[in-house]
Structure 1
């Protein structure tokens, strides 16, 4: 999937739990828009008060606008600022990629923060747990913002297994020992799994 991203209103962002969800968005103005829909990955909430609570709104990237435009009209469509669209939820597809976990900067053995990337299917994470090496206990991580989760405790000892539960359909996936014993902040560790 090409990086066509967008921010959405609070009703779709859901306090960050809607981050990672995918939508098909199609412009309805046939004078300037093609019939192509664009798949958009939710990456943020609309800035400021522009996206009123309760109102559905997409703040699209330039790449997303360009994809919807009639040939040669991309900049004209972007200049409109606000357009009417139809949208529907769609499964996320990251062909050839598996779920990855980026260890956020500042993580230590007492505060570990992870960003979930490339989640096929629902795209949204409703719960995340981590299991330390030589343990049978899954520890609940706290949702920070977007697709970022953290756990405070410790000292935390790797390698770590990570379990994801999707928000929309409650599907679960567990990546065993995906984060190695000698993990480091700012590193990304890719699992061998993804939702199909």
Structure 2
């Protein structure tokens, strides 16, 4: 019996490690915040202009055009959660490194817009490999906390509520038989976990997540005005009625009147 319990405990332990490696789901409260600080490390990519931080694994495209700017980060596997944490917001501070941390730099707030992929080549400094928690910041954000020549710094981080101007945005992509929607500028928890769509000629239909925060449905929605229901990771759902008019076009963005 004792041997069986030991094997069971070992199995639970290994499953836990595997889950952490595949991506951590960060639990937050109803207001989209987590008061507990956790430990991680941070580096940066790109230059001060942020050109290399555009596009990325969340599907947001031009981060300046969409309002995210340079206040962004790529997340390691342990935090990215296979893209479900795209849009989540974090507060970060530089700690325990007096050589490189800028004195009294305080904290920065950033939005997850990209993925920092693991590197399986043998080396001790692959910071984005699981199970390590790592933030690959834009250079502009990194240098608010530490000197650029530091390269990598220890940090503390926590989830915070996203504060976005204006309503939730919906960019329509695809073709007459396949509609994809990029959902962005999401406040509150920031990360979207479910999207439903309703045309003026249909009932509510569940969309599936393609990648990042791009959601899709294999239905012809052309010629119908479109409404959306969006649910974020803290369980809040908002309805956006008649966001896109009946003559909407692929490649266009339509904004809701409200936000989380």
TM-score normalised by the chain length of structure 2: 0.66
CA RMSD of aligned residues (A): 1.6
- Choose the corresponding residue for 1:150, options 216, 219, 224: 216
2:81 partner SS: helix
SS in 2 for 1:6: strand
Uncovered stretches (5+) of structure 2, i.e. residues with no partner: 1-67, 120-125
The separation in 2 between residues aligned to 1:159 and 1:147, in whole angstroms, is 22
- Pair 1:179 & 2:231 matched: no
1:1-196 matches, within 5 Å, as 3-28=70-95, 29-32=97-100, 33-34=102-103, 35-49=105-119, 50=126, 51-69=128-146, 77-94=147-164, 96-104=165-173, 107-135=174-202, 137-154=203-220, 156-167=222-233, 169-195=234-260
**CA positional deviation for 1:156:** 4.7
The offset of 1:178, in angstroms, is: 0.5
The alignment of Structure 1 onto Structure 2 pairs a total of residues equal to 183
Q: Deviations over 1:12-37 (max 9, x none)?
A: 11111100000001111234324321
Per-residue CA deviations over 1:163-187 (Å, capped at 9, x if unaligned) read: 11112x1110110011221111221
Distance 1:68 1:185 in 2: 41
Q: Deviations 1:72-93 (Å, cap 9, x if unpaired)?
A: xxxxx22322110000000011
State the 1:121 CA deviation. 0.6
Cα deviations by residue, 1:48-77 (Å, 9 ceiling, x for unpaired): 4241122111011011112223xxxxxxx2
Equivalent position of 2:61 in the other structure: none
Moved more, 13-22 or 25-34: 25-34
Distance 1:114 1:155 in 2: 12
**Contact map agreement 1:4 1:41 (CA 8 A) in 2:** yes
User: What secondary structure does 1:20 align onto?
Assistant: coil
Gaps of 5+ in 1: 70-76
